[in-house]
Amino acid sequence: MTSPAPSSHPSPPPLQFTERFREFAELNPELISGSISRISRRLEECNDFRYLSMPKGTIYPYASPAFIAEEGVEELRKATQLIVNCYEDLAQRMKADPSLMEKLLPGLDEVTKEGFLKDHGYQTSMPIYRLDLAMTDAGLQMMEINTGCPGGELDGGLIGRSFLEDELLRAFRTFLNGYYQFSFHDPREDSLARLLDCYGEFRKKADPGFPENPTIALITSTAQAYYLTPECRGIAKYYRERGHPATVGDLFDLKRKKGKIMLGGKRVHLIFRKFSTESFLRRMDPHGGDFTIEQRKRVRDLFEAYLNREVCIVNPPFSTVMQDKGLLAHMREDYPHLRALIPETYVLAPEVLAREGRLASRIRDGEEFIVKRRISYGGRWVKLDPSDIRRSFDFLLDEAPYRWIAQRRVEIPKGFFLYAHNARYEMGQYYYNINSFGASFFLRVSPGDRNTPINASQGGAASSLIVVRPAS
pLDDT tops 60 at residue 13: no
pLDDT tops 90 at residue 449: no
- 316-362: per-residue pLDDT in tens? 999 999 999 999 999 999 999 999 999 999 999 988 888 777 899 99
Average pLDDT over residues 7-21: 64
Write down the pLDDT at residue 55: 87
Confidence band, pLDDT 50/70/90 cuts, at residue 1 = very low
Taking only Cα atoms into account, the Rg of the chain, rounded to an integer number of angstroms, comes to: 23
Q: Calculate what percentage of the chain has a pLDDT beyond 70.
A: 96
Dihedral angle, C-alpha 297, 303, 307, 309, nearest 10 °: 90
Write down the pLDDT at residue 455: 77
What are the domain boundaries of the chain?
16-78+125-186+415-470, 189-321, 344-408
- Helix H, strand E, coil C: the string for the chain is CCCCCCCCCCCCCCCHHHHHHHHHHHHCHHHHHHHHHHHHHHHHHHCCCCCCCCCCCCCCCEECCEEEEHHHHHHHHHHHHHHHHHHHHHHHHHHHCHHHHHHHCCCCCHHHHHHHHCCCCCCCCCCCCEEEEEEECCEEEEEEEECCCCCCHHHHHHHHHHHHCCHHHHHHHHHCCCCEEEECCCHHHHHHHHHHHHHHHHHHHCCCCCCCCCCEEEEECCCCHHHHHHHHHHHHHHHHHCCCCEEEEEHHHEEEECCEEEECCEEECEEEECCCHHHHHHHHCCCCCCCCHHHHHHHHHHHHHHHCCCCEEECCCCHHHHHCCHHHHHHHHHCHHHCCCCCCEEECCHHHHHCCCCHHHHHHHCCCEEEEECCCCCCCCEECCHHHHHHHHHHHHHHCCCCEEEEECCCCCEEEEEEEECCEEEEEEEEEEEEEECCEEEEEEECCCCCCCCCHHHCCEEEEEEEEEECC
Write down the pLDDT at residue 57: 83
Average pLDDT over residues 421-428: 89
Average pLDDT over residues 217-237: 95
Average pLDDT over residues 152-161: 96
Write down the pLDDT at residue 450: 83
Write down the pLDDT at residue 179: 87
Write down the pLDDT at residue 211: 96
Average pLDDT over residues 238-249: 98
Write down the pLDDT at residue 107: 86
Average pLDDT for the chain: 92
Write down the pLDDT at residue 2: 46
Return the CATH architecture of domain 189-321. 3-Layer(aba) Sandwich (3.40)
Write down the pLDDT at residue 457: 67
Q: 0.85 exceeded by the pTM?
A: yes
Average pLDDT over residues 373-400: 88
Write down the pLDDT at residue 452: 83
pLDDT tops 90 at residue 4: no
- 196-225: per-residue pLDDT in tens? 999 999 999 898 889 999 999 999 999 899
pLDDT tops 90 at residue 451: no
Q: What kind of fold does domain 344-408 have according to CATH?
A: Dna Ligase; domain 1 (3.30.1490)
- 179-199: per-residue pLDDT in tens? 899 999 999 999 999 999 999
pLDDT tops 60 at residue 78: yes
Average pLDDT over residues 154-177: 96
- 113-129: per-residue pLDDT in tens? 989 998 999 999 999 99
Average pLDDT over residues 274-287: 91
Write down the pLDDT at residue 281: 93
Confidence band, pLDDT 50/70/90 cuts, at residue 454 = confident
Write down the pLDDT at residue 138: 84
Write down the pLDDT at residue 459: 76
